[in-house]
Structure 1
Amino acid sequence: MRAGAWIVTASRVVTVLGVVVILGMLPWLSDRDPALSILRARSAEQEATEEALDAIRRDLGLDVGPLRMFWGWFTGVIQGDPGTSWNTGRPVLPGAVDALGVSLTLMSCAMIVALVVASLIVLPTLRAGLRGNPRRTGGAAAAAMTSMPEFLLASVLVIVGAVWLSFPAYGWNGPEYVVLPALALGLPAGGLIGRLLADAVAVTFTEGWVTTWTVAGFTRRRITGAVLRRALPGLASQIGLVMVAMTGGAVAVEKVFAIPGLGRTTLGDAQSQDLPALQIDVLLLLAVSAVLGISAELIRRAMLGSALRGGSMPIPSGVFAPSPRRWIAPIVAASVLVVMVVAGLPRDAYYSTREKFAPPSAEFPFGTDASGRDLLARVSEGAISTVSLSLAVTAGCFVIGVLFGLIPRVSRGLVEVTNAAPPVVAGILIAAIWGPSAGGAAVAVLIVTWAPLAAHTAALVEEARSRPYIAILPTLGASEARILFGSIVPSVLPVIMRHAMLRLPGVALALAALGFLGLGPRPPTPDWGLILSEGVAGVERAPWVVLAPLASLIALAVLAVSLASATSGRTRRTVDDTAVPVASATASN
């Protein structure tokens, strides 16, 4: 095995072992005393004396020390016994497996929804290509669905289903209870998959062999099958990432719809500091994410077949240049946010009036919340804090991504594992260690957002090294450090910086999602996700309480998706006139 392959393998092994150690040492990493949390959970009235806390520590096994406790947990996991719950005293594995079954059922139904939606989006593109007019269609519908994060769409569906249509929206008591959650989880995934596939199919129809097959008299059915086989392998990895993201999205959907799945169970165990249950919950979530990612890669390899083994990988023919009209959506979304922020700045976000759940009026354009506070003021102040925190996180992601992108072999395992971990899982672990806070949410988003920038940096560095004027520098006596930091890095940094800034709205959405799940700032902080979460709790009594946070988050989501669409990769031509895609500033994780 070559030295490079050894380094990559070692990176993967060390990263996986690091994740296992973090999970096993969770009781010792937390800055909150687990004994005190368990005492409060068992009896809120009992005095927290040192004797009572010591008794609980002996009962939980915390008195044996971190190494012995970790080894006991690790060997127990290998033997199929990850421990007993600190709250109930029962084995944690059966309950976690039951909750996992509920989550897998929900995700399976959501995947059916996603496949149906993706098929409906790509069908017009296929028809246009078969008519000899290759172009992507259905972009507006796909963008609308993609722009709605799961926790946001779930909140909207609760209003539509529970308030307006009297549809069952809470619980897990029959087939009808899966409809709204599956839509909330499947529509964004289907919109994204359909959008990616429509782009790939439209580009494939521009390739010369399609014209040759058409002239030769091949049937439309056979051409369609060949186009899909040509387009799908390049998307398999990204579809796998969409499915991994669905694992994190299921946590928010299960919370909104009160579904007893693994995501909701994990949130509850994190809040109650039941760390043995939380350890197996997170382990199962990561295992599901890893299986989905590995399955996508195996499917990709199976579809490529001999092309992958023989090194004859097909080169994509390019992508369509963005239309100026694609800038309309981000401009409109940004304008909505600016107007809301400016209108709410003079108002007090913390002042509580006597009128709770006041409907929208001239005095309170978005009404008041359950505490009588001005919702417009809270959304406006929340925008300032969210954007400031998002900028700090984005800057950190840029720095870390560039540094790790310059050592791709060493960081390969870390990048792969990070891509397989939804932000929500990182948020749950950080909250279990530090408690819910804005800083903890920022760290959680930072942990999972730098990886795409690192992968993009590594790809650009590799591309730069192949350029003739860079390849000749060693023969001119230039050192490796001078080549890297004098020629390659300066050419890469502007592209990565644009990529990082395009991720800014997505970072803000991730922070809002953690706030919505109770993993971010605590009340009465005017955090967008927290405001929406509080509004959803009272939506049946006062549906307008969610208007302000929904409007701001929808505008932010549209901004995030439309920016990525408006700045999609352009096409360049090589000397032999074969179109190849330029590395896009919007490369996703």
Structure 2
Amino acid sequence: MRAAILLCLLAVPVAVGLLGDPLATDMRAVLLPPSPEHPLGTDALGRDVLARVAAGAVTSLGAAGLALVVSALIGLAVGAATGWSGGRGSAVVRALVDVAAALPPLIVALVAGLVAGPGWTTLLLALIAVGWLPFARQADALTASLRTRQWVLAHRAMGAGTLRIWWRSLLPELLPPVGALAVVRLPALINTVAALGFLGLGPPPPAPEWGAMLAASVDHLGVAPWLLAAPLAALVVAQFLIAALPFGRRTDRGG
């Protein structure tokens, strides 16, 4: 119920904002305060802030969500494979995760942006390069414990192939905890995307993005505080919405 209410709080203004053009400039409407015509005011180029926040929700949340999904899929596949086989593969995954713990995604993305230039492609690749490792370690540990369960051993004794066991037995056990980890990591990814946009390493102007909007608001805080308040409020609402999402429950088959 709480998640549904928060979803409406975010979806309604986003839907209204998407009706406007986030790139349309009007030099006769520069830095206008919130009004019925512009519910969140306008920026230094006369662009509607609500339209830009709404478009920024699609780009910022979309980038974080895409990086998260790809990272989870890669980590799930690699971790399940190493956990099933055991041996050196598991040791390598654990070592990589330990190394990645000292390399926050923000730093990796910052270095990648400085080397390859700003843009969504560079940002996504940098986030995925680090983001898949925690999922791999989780899947590795879970698979290593599950492969010795009696119901898995029974499937193997009956001649079931590895892929069938993974699809019918292991995957339903792995998806809930992987989904829970994804929910936990999503807010950090959203903040990382916004931080990189604030530093100018996101999509180039005039693309609407929450971090870039926060950076642009700094020069106008005294006369147009709504330029800071609007994207900041969007980030806060998004965080609360994610916190309200169900984590899912694992069902143990016993054994």
TM-score (normalised: structure 1): 0.38
Match of 2:180 in 1: 499
> Does the Cα contact within 8 Å between 1:404 and 1:454 map onto a contact in 2?
yes
Shift in Å at residue 522 of structure 1? 1.8
Distance 1:350 1:537 in 2: 20
The one of 415, 431, 434 equivalent to 2:113 is 431
TM-score (normalised: structure 2): 0.83
Q: Over residues 297-342 of structure 1, what are the superposed CA-to-partner deviations in whole Å (9 max), with x where a residue is unaligned?
A: xxxxxxxxxxxxxxxxxxxxxxxxxxxxxx52x3333222101111
Shift in Å at residue 477 of structure 1? 5.3
Residue 378 (1) aligns with residue 59 (2): no
> Does the Cα contact within 8 Å between 1:418 and 1:447 map onto a contact in 2?
no
User: After the TM superposition, which segments of 4 or more aligned residues of structure 1 sit over 6 Å from their partners?
Assistant: 568-572
> Does the Cα contact within 8 Å between 2:143 and 2:170 map onto a contact in 1?
yes
Seen in structure 2, the aligned counterparts of structure 1 residues 556 and 372 have a Cα distance that, compared at 3 Å, is same
Distance 2:147 2:108 in 1: 35
Match of 1:364 in 2: 38
Shift in Å at residue 524 of structure 1? 1.0
Shift in Å at residue 488 of structure 1? 4.5
Q: Which amino acid aligns with 1:369?
A: D
Match of 1:155 in 2: none
Q: Which moved more, 1:383-392 or 1:337-346?
A: 383-392
Residue 402 (1) aligns with residue 76 (2): yes
Residue 441 (1) aligns with residue 150 (2): no
Match of 2:223 in 1: 541
Q: Which amino acid aligns with 2:7?
A: A
Distance 2:211 2:98 in 1: 28
Seen in structure 2, the aligned counterparts of structure 1 residues 347 and 475 have a Cα distance that, compared at 3 Å, is closer
Seen in structure 2, the aligned counterparts of structure 1 residues 464 and 415 have a Cα distance that, compared at 3 Å, is same
Match of 2:15 in 1: 342
Q: Which amino acid aligns with 1:401?
A: G
Distance 2:124 2:186 in 1: 13
The one of 189, 196, 206 equivalent to 1:524 is 206
Shift in Å at residue 501 of structure 1? 5.4
SS of the equivalent of 1:360 reads: coil
Match of 1:78 in 2: none
Equivalent positions of 1:143-542 (< 5 A) are: 327-328=1-2, 330-354=3-27, 355-406=29-80, 407=82, 408-476=90-158, 481=162, 485=166, 487-495=168-176, 498-499=179-180, 502=183, 503-542=185-224
Distance 2:46 2:111 in 1: 33
Match of 2:247 in 1: 567
Q: Which amino acid aligns with 2:247?
A: T
Larger RCO (CA within 8 A; separation ≥ 6): 2
Seen in structure 2, the aligned counterparts of structure 1 residues 410 and 499 have a Cα distance that, compared at 3 Å, is same
Please tell me whether Structure 1 or Structure 2 has the larger radius of gyration of its CA atoms: 1
Seen in structure 2, the aligned counterparts of structure 1 residues 403 and 390 have a Cα distance that, compared at 3 Å, is same
Seen in structure 2, the aligned counterparts of structure 1 residues 350 and 393 have a Cα distance that, compared at 3 Å, is same
Distance 1:490 1:424 in 2: 31
Question: Identity over aligned residues, as a percent?
Answer: 33
Q: Which amino acid aligns with 1:334?
A: L
Shift in Å at residue 375 of structure 1? 0.5
> Does the Cα contact within 8 Å between 2:176 and 2:248 map onto a contact in 1?
no
Shift in Å at residue 447 of structure 1? 2.2
Distance 2:107 2:233 in 1: 26
* Unaligned runs of at least 5 residues, structure 2: 83-89
Distance 2:16 2:163 in 1: 52
SS of the equivalent of 1:541 reads: coil
* Unaligned runs of at least 5 residues, structure 1: 1-326, 576-589
Distance 1:334 1:486 in 2: 32
Seen in structure 2, the aligned counterparts of structure 1 residues 571 and 472 have a Cα distance that, compared at 3 Å, is closer
Distance 2:247 2:170 in 1: 22
Q: Over residues 412-439 of structure 1, what are the superposed CA-to-partner deviations in whole Å (9 max), with x where a residue is unaligned?
A: 2212212221121011111122111122
> Does the Cα contact within 8 Å between 2:198 and 2:212 map onto a contact in 1?
yes
Shift in Å at residue 568 of structure 1? 7.6
> Does the Cα contact within 8 Å between 1:437 and 1:521 map onto a contact in 2?
yes
> Does the Cα contact within 8 Å between 1:453 and 1:499 map onto a contact in 2?
no
Count of aligned positions: 244
Q: Which amino acid aligns with 1:469?
A: W
Equivalent positions of 1:71-86 (< 5 A) are: none
> Does the Cα contact within 8 Å between 1:509 and 1:557 map onto a contact in 2?
no
Distance 1:401 1:346 in 2: 38
Shift in Å at residue 526 of structure 1? 0.1
SS of the equivalent of 1:520 reads: coil
Match of 1:207 in 2: none
Shift in Å at residue 484 of structure 1? 5.3
